[in-house]
Structure 1
Amino acid sequence: MANILVLEDDEIFASLLQVSLEQAGHFPIICEDATETIAQYKEYDFDLVITDLIVKKNNRAIPDGGVMVISFLQGRARDGHPIPPIIAMSGATQRPGLEQLLVTSKDLGATATLTKPFEPAELLALIDQLLQPLT
């Protein structure tokens, strides 16, 4: 099916994503930080990117990991490179000031957003919708 690049620093949630994606026939590569995600993107071809917006850096949650990935991909698009659809996700929408983060990710170029927690079926339906021309 699809090669999917995932930025998720929570080990348990990353494992759940990996299992759900693999059971649906996809081939996920899971990364823990934005730098690793960008390096993987440069190395391989991906049909879709899923990025958490809040990732840890030096054991501190910072709202720039996913934004960094989205900005990198949009920079490639401005340079004329085709980029895959991007799903931005965050569970930090209950924190003051961070509820706007998912909206901002759309403004930066995310194709779709998801608020954690979500059901695997919701993610898989969104992936099918975004990859419809590929299936």
Structure 2
Amino acid sequence: MARILIVDDEESIRRLLQGVLTRAGHEVDSAADGNEALAAVRARTYDLVVTDLIMPGKEGIETIMELRTSQPAVKIIAMSGGSRVCALDYLTIASQLGAAATLEKPFMIDALLGAVNAAVGGSATHRPPA
């Protein structure tokens, strides 16, 4: 079981991913943008952050850059829809910044679960709630 933070400005996506990952046995929190995400990682320890890249406020690329500085051990999965070219550019940048995996929206749930399992593997340990 991993402790995962989902970051997306679309509430329906946050709820969907939170439900899928919770059913897969993970402990999942969510944030609506990069600012909320960074506040969450200051308050709790996460094994994995799954973040959208195009959001109002603090975008995903900025969030990844700050996470790499403040929480270098946290694994990151980046996801983006945007236009096809724009999404691929952002996903390439996220990968270059150290994202463990990238997912182009829309993606299959199996792709998400595979990326999560690959990112956290057996190294995630359950911690009591903070």
Q: Same fold (TM over 0.5)?
A: yes
TM-score (norm 1): 0.84
Q: Could you tell me which runs of 5 or more consecutive residues in structure 1 were left unpaired when the two chains were aligned.
A: 58-63
Q: How much identity, in percent, do the aligned residues show?
A: 36
Change (3 A) 1:42 1:65: same
The runs of at least 4 aligned residues of structure 1 exceeding 6 Å deviation read none
Q: What is the Cα deviation at residue 99 of structure 1? A: 2.8
**CA-to-partner distance for each residue in 1:88-110, whole Å, 9 max, x for gaps?**
1001142x544311101111221
Structure 1 counterpart of 2:7, which letter? L
Residues in 1 aligned to 2:87 and 2:20: alpha-carbon distance in whole angstroms: 27
Quote the residue 1:88 is aligned against.
78
Query: How many aligned positions are there?
Result: 124
Which is greater in Rg?
Answer: 1
Quote the residue 1:60 is aligned against.
none
TM-score (norm 2): 0.87
RMSD of the TM alignment (CA)?
1.6
Among candidates 73, 77, 92, match of residue 67 of structure 2 = 73
Quote the residue 1:107 is aligned against.
96
Residue 91 of structure 1 contacts residue 115 of structure 1 at CA under 8 Å; is this kept in 2?
yes
Quote the residue 1:123 is aligned against.
112
Q: Could you tell me which runs of 5 or more consecutive residues in structure 2 were left unpaired when the two chains were aligned.
A: 125-130
